[in-house]
């Protein structure tokens, strides 16, 4: 449910002062088609109301009968992620201290829609990105994320969940040098649009990231795309779940720790890191540069799609990502 990486998309500016990345889906699934596909393959849900929940780079998402969430891939490159979610999420859900989506309905390709899709129980809460939650009210959610990531990154979970077959960091998100270069490009476009003012702290982080080689630790089970849109919180600031696992993989844990720097600051970040455990200086740089990149891409996406709340949160995330880096 995010902009995620630009991947193979062109990076030209457009939109109202923004720029034409092609955010349009390869497969459009309007509510009527979603209802038809779900009702035909899952008769118990035939005739149930189908309401839009969210759209993003990879998926169109609907709530069905007020209690089920169905995800329909929007582009072909999302298909491996859908398949990994179907295979892996049921194996790891019981090991994690926050709810995650678990596929209970798995739809097969058909004439009306050529790709697999799936549905699971609706998790309560809304995206942190849309919550309006102040930074000084995020401590409880941050600590919960720290505990969640400690469990997810437990070395024993890889074998216990039968996850050895997962790809190793297929998006190269732990490649700090690559993310530094990509961050410069996106930040430059945001600056040209007047959405971002270049900061010495950001350039210093980018330079530090450029000096890092590949990570040399043992890969852990990783969410792969953990940021402000993928953490659910309630109105009281409590963490309710972690969604959108299409990039689940084996990777350096730093790629998930990016949420500590893009979503939290000050005491809240400290609470997350205290709950998680020690983080090396090198891992911190990898996490920070990925946070900078993801927030920049989300800001560009939000501006192009006219999503002011997400834009505000993503731009604030850019400042969090560099805050405290020396």
57 plus 86 within the same structural domain? yes
Q: Which CATH number covers residue 49? A: 3.30.200.20
145 plus 62 within the same structural domain? no
Q: Which domain holds residue 177?
A: 126-322
**13 falls within a domain:** no
The 10s digit of each residue's pLDDT in 177-208 is 999 999 999 999 999 989 999 899 999 999 99
How confident is the model at residue 17, as a pLDDT? 38
**221 falls within a domain:** yes
117 plus 131 within the same structural domain? no
**Residue 173 confidence (pLDDT) above 90:** yes
**Residue 217 confidence (pLDDT) above 50:** yes
146 plus 199 within the same structural domain? yes
**6 falls within a domain:** no
Span 296-306, average pLDDT: 92
The 10s digit of each residue's pLDDT in 247-260 is 999 999 999 999 99
276 plus 189 within the same structural domain? yes
139 plus 98 within the same structural domain? no
- Number of C-beta neighbours around residue 221 at 10 A: 28
57 — pLDDT class (breaks 50, 70, 90)? confident
146 plus 204 within the same structural domain? yes
**2 falls within a domain:** no
312 plus 269 within the same structural domain? yes
Span 16-38, average pLDDT: 76
Span 271-282, average pLDDT: 98
Q: Name the packing angle between helices 200-210 and 176-192 (round to 10°).
A: 150
**Residue 10 confidence (pLDDT) above 60:** no
Q: How many domains does the chain have?
A: 2
Q: Which CATH number covers residue 312? A: 3.90.1200.10
**24 falls within a domain:** no
41 plus 188 within the same structural domain? no
- Number of C-beta neighbours around residue 157 at 10 A: 17
**108 falls within a domain:** yes
91 plus 216 within the same structural domain? no
Domain boundary (69, 99, 121) is at 121
257 plus 302 within the same structural domain? yes
More confidently predicted of 135 and 58? 135
The 10s digit of each residue's pLDDT in 78-121 is 999 999 999 999 999 999 999 999 999 999 999 999 999 999 99
Q: Name the packing angle between helices 254-262 and 266-276 (round to 10°).
A: 160
207 plus 304 within the same structural domain? yes
Span 36-63, average pLDDT: 94
Pick the closest to residue 141 from 259, 243, 248 (CA basis). 259
How confident is the model at residue 305, as a pLDDT? 85
């Amino acid at each position: 449910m995010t902009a995620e990486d630009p991947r193979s998309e062109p990076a030209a500016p457009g939109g109202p002062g923004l720029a034409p990345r092609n955010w349009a889906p390869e497969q459009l699934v309007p509510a009527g088609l979603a209802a038809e596909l779900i009702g035909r393959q899952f008769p118990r849900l035939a005739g149930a109301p189908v309401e839009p929940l969210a759209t993003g780079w990879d998926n169109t998402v609907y709530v069905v009968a007020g209690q089920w969430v169905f995800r329909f891939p929007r582009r072909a490159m999302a298909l491996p992620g859908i398949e990994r979610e179907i295979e892996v999420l049921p194996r790891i859900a019981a090991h994690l201290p926050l709810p995650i989506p678990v596929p209970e309905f798995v739809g097969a390709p058909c004439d009306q829609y050529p790709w697999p899709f799936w549905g699971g129980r609706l998790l309560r809460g809304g995206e942190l990105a849309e919550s309006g939650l102040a930074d000084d009210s995020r401590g409880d959610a941050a600590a919960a994320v720290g505990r969640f990531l400690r469990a997810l990154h437990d070395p024993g979970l890889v074998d216990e969940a039968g996850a050895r077959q997962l790809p190793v960091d297929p998006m190269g998100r732990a490649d700090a040098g690559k993310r530094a270069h990509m961050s410069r490009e996106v930040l430059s476009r945001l600056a040209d649009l007047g959405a971002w003012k270049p900061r010495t702290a950001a350039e210093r982080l980018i330079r530090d990231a450029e000096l890092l080689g590949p990570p040399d630790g043992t890969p852990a089970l990783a969410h792969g795309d953990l940021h402000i849109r993928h953490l659910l919180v309630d109105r009281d600031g409590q963490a309710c779940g972690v969604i959108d696992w299409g990039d689940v993989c084996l990777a350096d844990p730093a790629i998930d720790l990016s949420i500590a720097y893009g979503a939290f600051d000050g005491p809240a970040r400290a609470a997350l890191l205290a709950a998680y455990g020690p983080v090396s200086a090198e891992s911190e740089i990898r996490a920070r540069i990925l946070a900078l990149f993801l927030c920049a891409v989300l800001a560009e996406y939000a501006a192009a799609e006219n999503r002011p709340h997400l834009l505000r949160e993503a731009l604030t995330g850019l400042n969090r990502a560099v805050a405290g880096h020396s």
